[in-house]
Amino acid sequence: MEIRPILSALLRNKTGPILVAMQVALSLAILANALYIVNERRAVIARPSGLADEHSTFYVRARNLDTDGHEQRRATFKHEADLLRAVPGVASVAQVSQMPLSQSGWNTSITVDQRQERPSTSASMYLSADSIVHTFGLRLVEGRDFLPAERVELDRKDQAEPPPQIILTRALAEKLWPGVSAIGKSVYFGKQEVARAPQVIGVVEHLQTQSAQIDETGEFSIVMPLQQYGDSSTMFAVRTEPGQRDRVMKEAESVLRKSSATPMILEMRTVDQDRKDRYRGDVALQWMLVTVSLLMLLITCCGIVGMASLWVTQRRKQIGVRRALGARKIDILRYFIVENVMITSGGVFGGVALGLALNQLLVSKLEMARLPAGYLAGGALLFWLIGVIAAYGPAWKAASISPATATRSV
């Protein structure tokens, strides 16, 4: 193999090769980290919200400009829910306190033992006297949904006691009681004295919080069969038959407006809109990283091709002499490709080190996750391939130099 002469030729003129290797190293380091972040964000966006059919789910916030008392308002909202249920194409309706991914709602701290000093964790609270298990289409993995008799409606002016039964998500159950069934276990909200601690009667597979945080707490939700009435506004979650959402939304709006003698404010949003808003920043970051990565690959390719072409032009005479002394085309081709692979290899090793260093910086300064080795290995392979492909053109040009013309002026 002719590695030794190639190496000593490289060492005689270091600047160009170092520049190419630096480009490869920089691109590899940034590319591996960028692709990892892109994939990480993709996984974050792909997490299930728990809703069985997000595309068919929307919600209405209805506010009546009335001066009614609490009981009257309670009756109005019951009536409005019935009107919504009667709209053709509606599969399920529930009065709810908040929606997943909507970025607005309430959290509570949870303890599993009243004597413990610190709360176990904080969880998002879904309150509803209807079945949100049914309306959201949540999948129960253990236990059962609330019975009608367990559902409580409370006047807002009264002190709200936690209901005796609650449902929570599997992620939260696993956090509070690792490895054991949560059914029948008691939880406490804060340090307040309660007559009866709520008991877990059901566990659902998924239900994201209103913020859908990227860590495990994004799945820490509890459902309570409790509703407080008296406010002038309420929220209804509606699941429609597949494909009927947009029509149902229009009809629901007109039905609700017609039902009220006083002016009414209706705000309607789909879960799809909320999802888009929630992940807008992540999607934008992905686009930015992919664009920069592609540009980087392009520029690095240009750099390799440019430098290789320059070396071929500079060494025309030497190539001519080698050809005249008996070197075949394949020898010249091989020389340039091996030379480039050597340079790229130097860059790849530098890039792996630089990529790890960059990741370390991202971990310590920007709270990013640690880069799996696979990304660097994949990136290294990619750049070796690019090195060979990019060098092939100039190397072929070098191999095609005819010895007669190249050595004419020697």
Partner 1 sequence: MFGYYFTLGLRSLRRNRALTALMVLTLAVGVAASISTLTILHAMSGDPIPEKSRRLLVPHLDNGQVDGWAPGEKPDDVQMTYQDAVNLLKSGQGERRTVLFGTEMPLEPPRKDMPAFSSAGMAPTRDFFAMFNVRFLHGQPWTEADDARGADVVVLGRAMAEKLFGDANPVGRQIRLMNVPFTVAGVVDYWNPRPRYYKLIGGDTFGGADDFYIPFASAIRHEAGINGGMNCTTKREPGFAGLLASECTWLQFWFETRSSADRADLQSWLDRYAGEQRKLGRLKRNVPTHLYDVMEWMEELKIVGNDNKLSVWLAFGFLALCLVNTIGLLLAKFSVRASEIGVRRALGASRREIFSQFLIETGVIGLAGGLLGLALSFGALALIGMQSTEVAAMARMDWEMLGMTFVLSVAAALLAGLLPTWRACQVTPAIQLKSQ
Tokens of 363: 């971990």
Using CB under 8 A as the binding rule, whether residue 117 contacts partner 1 is answered as: yes
Among 3, 7, 65, 75, binds partner 1 (CB under 8 A): 65
Write the interaction track for partner 1 spanning residues 74-103; mark x where CB under 8 A is met and - where it is not: ------------------------------
Using CB under 8 A as the binding rule, whether residue 306 contacts partner 1 is answered as: yes
Measured from the CB atom, the residue of 37 and 252 that comes closer to partner 1 is 37
Among 72, 314, 400, 405, binds partner 1 (CB under 8 A): 314
* CA atoms 6, 7, 11, 17: torsion sign: positive
Q: Helix 329-366 crosses helix 3-12 at what angle (to 10 degrees)?
A: 60
Q: Smallest gap, in angstroms, from Cβ of residue 216 to partner 1?
A: 19
Tokens of 53: 């059919």
Measured from the CB atom, the residue of 90 and 256 that comes closer to partner 1 is 256
Among 69, 88, 281, 374, binds partner 1 (CB under 8 A): 281
Using CB under 8 A as the binding rule, whether residue 258 contacts partner 1 is answered as: no
Distance CA(246)–CA(94), nearest Å, equals 18
Using CB under 8 A as the binding rule, whether residue 300 contacts partner 1 is answered as: yes
Measured from the CB atom, the residue of 4 and 115 that comes closer to partner 1 is 115
20 burial via Cβ count (<10 Å: 0-12, 13-18, 19+): buried
Write the interaction track for partner 1 spanning residues 211-250; mark x where CB under 8 A is met and - where it is not: ---------------------x------------------
Write the interaction track for partner 1 spanning residues 23-42; mark x where CB under 8 A is met and - where it is not: x--xx-xx--xx--x-----
Tokens of 400: 């095609």
Using CB under 8 A as the binding rule, whether residue 294 contacts partner 1 is answered as: no
Among 3, 140, 147, 160, binds partner 1 (CB under 8 A): 160
Among 9, 45, 285, 342, binds partner 1 (CB under 8 A): 285
Distance CA(163)–CA(156), nearest Å, equals 15
Q: Smallest gap, in angstroms, from Cβ of residue 2 to partner 1?
A: 25
Using CB under 8 A as the binding rule, whether residue 363 contacts partner 1 is answered as: no
Using CB under 8 A as the binding rule, whether residue 44 contacts partner 1 is answered as: no
Among 14, 47, 191, 408, binds partner 1 (CB under 8 A): 191
Amino acid at 342: M
Stretch that binds partner 1, among 94-102, 248-256, 287-295, 335-343 (CB under 8 A): 287-295
Whether the CB-CB separation of 154 and 143 falls below 8 Å is answered with: no
Closest CA to 37 of 389, 370, 378: 370
Nearby residues of 264 by Cβ (< 8 Å), 6 or more positions away: 62, 63, 64, 65, 256, 257
400 burial via Cβ count (<10 Å: 0-12, 13-18, 19+): exposed
Phi-psi region of 106 (alpha: psi -120 to 50; beta: other; left: phi over 0): beta
Tokens of 47: 């997490």
Among 8, 67, 195, 215, binds partner 1 (CB under 8 A): 67
Amino acid at 322: R
Stretch that binds partner 1, among 89-97, 110-118, 170-178, 336-344 (CB under 8 A): 110-118
Tell me the C-alpha to C-alpha distance, in Å, between residue 228 and each of 115, 175, 280: 29, 29, 33
Using CB under 8 A as the binding rule, whether residue 284 contacts partner 1 is answered as: yes
Number of residues located near partner 1, criterion CB under 8 A = 57
Measured from the CB atom, the residue of 265 and 381 that comes closer to partner 1 is 265
Using CB under 8 A as the binding rule, whether residue 389 contacts partner 1 is answered as: no
242 burial via Cβ count (<10 Å: 0-12, 13-18, 19+): exposed
Strands 233-240 and 90-96: antiparallel
Using CB under 8 A as the binding rule, whether residue 364 contacts partner 1 is answered as: no
Whether the CB-CB separation of 3 and 342 falls below 8 Å is answered with: yes
Residue 2: CB atoms within 10 A of its CB come to: 11
Phi-psi region of 179 (alpha: psi -120 to 50; beta: other; left: phi over 0): left
Q: Residue numbers of the site for partner 1 (CB under 8 A)?
A: 15-16, 19-20, 22-23, 26-27, 29-30, 33-34, 37, 63, 65, 67, 116-119, 156-160, 190-192, 232, 263-265, 267, 280-282, 284-285, 288-289, 292, 295-296, 299-300, 302-303, 306-307, 310, 314, 358, 362, 365-368
